[in-house]
Amino acid sequence: MLDIGHIHRTEYELDADRSESLGKVVIAEAPGRVHYLGEHGEPKAGLFLSSAIDRYIRVAVSLRKDNSLRFFAADLGERKRTTLINLKYKREDRWANYLKVAVHIFAGLGFPVKGLNFTVAGDIPQQIGLASSSAIEVAAAIALRGFFNVKLSDEDLLSKLIPAHKTFFGKKDTAVDYAIALFAEKNSFLIVDELNLEVTPIRTSLDNNYKILIMDSRVPRMGVDEELKERRRDLKHGLQLLARKHSGTSFRNFVTADLVESMGDLPEEIRRRCMHIVQELRRIDEAEEALLKADQPALTKIILHSHESLRDLYEVSCPEIDWLVKRAQELDGVLGSRMTGRGFGGCTYTIIREQVIEEYKRRLEDYERIFGFHPIIYEIKPADRAHLEPV
């Protein structure tokens, strides 16, 4: 059972008359996100080049006469239900568990969430690493904040989403996704620091002729979790070994020269993993400078080297993804192409001039013939933060 008495709702401003209206409906939407650089970084201390994307999850909230919590996924035609006293993670509730995270927050703040309807719908592609699950949580939290007319800042909401998610799912690896959804700016890339969850927007200098394509390779992925756990163990061990010779508790305290000097002290595989992390941190700094200066050739090299590092040092790519990236990079009019997501399949992104998109798609016919997978393309652009929608 939830402990809902530890914070009184008088801590925030509540318009009781408005919140108790049965006819009231509040709708919020939250964007998905894509990481361009930095996704496979130091655990809990990553640095990312990212953006929100113009694909959204929308959540509508309305009041019920009874004490039931009803959840409806409009796209799936599925319904789930619970009550406040039974508010907990259930595997069979799948998508509804993410809505429960937001309910948990506002119940804990003392708001009357006994009887509510939630409807969720959206156009973020599922299970390809575009943060659709986090978008459900953020959209639901924004909707409830508006429904109860409470003055709770985005920073406060972020600080409550993180522990609420851990309560339900036993992990807290979604903080960066929340920060992007809450603090993104339209037509801007974002530098996101996982250490302090600071989000620094960089207005994109790309002209309207450039498009960003997400390519779902459709490669089946098996054993990814264990592979990634092994990579994280390698990083932890590598950092411990590096700290014996040089003071520092994070890869941010080391440079490439430190890894070169460590030859013979670190097992070669661990040294390669660490080299990727250290060099990727530098690439993100260089990408920020290239974006600020509108230096497109420099950005192209950074993206190319980042994919090569994921392929050769961190070893999370696969032949299908490497083929897609290579064929895209061969086209005159492609600014950059790289894998994105957890790896071992999944997606690439390609920043491409509109005039060569058709040629890019024609090359995918070869991909399907060679590998036997039918890829799916999604066109995206950097989008704005989560917000309430007019009803």
Point out the residues that are catalytic. 177
110: left (phi over 0), alpha (psi -120 to 50) or beta: left
Does residue 266 sit in helix, strand or coil? Answer: strand
State phi, psi for 38 to the nearest 5 degrees.
90, 0
* Structure-token pair, residue 123: 């156009």
- CA atoms in the 13 A half-sphere facing the CB of 74: 11
Q: Count of CB atoms within 10 A of residue 198's CB?
A: 12
β-pairing, 347-353 vs 47-63, is unpaired
Longest C-alpha distance within the chain, in Å? 70
Location of structure tokens 């700016």: 185
Selection from 320, 310, 295, 328 nearest residue 212 by Cα: 328
Tell me how far CA of residue 306 lies from CA of 127, 159, 203, 260, 276, in angstroms. 23, 31, 22, 19, 8
* Structure-token pair, residue 333: 């009019």
Q: Which residues of 61-98 are buried (b: 16+ CB within 10 A; e: fewer)?
A: bbbeeeeebbbbbeeeeeebebebeebeeeeebebbbb
Q: Are the C-beta atoms of residues 277 and 41 closer than 8 Å to each other?
A: yes
Q: Are the C-beta atoms of residues 110 and 8 closer than 8 Å to each other?
A: yes
DSSP character for 6?
S
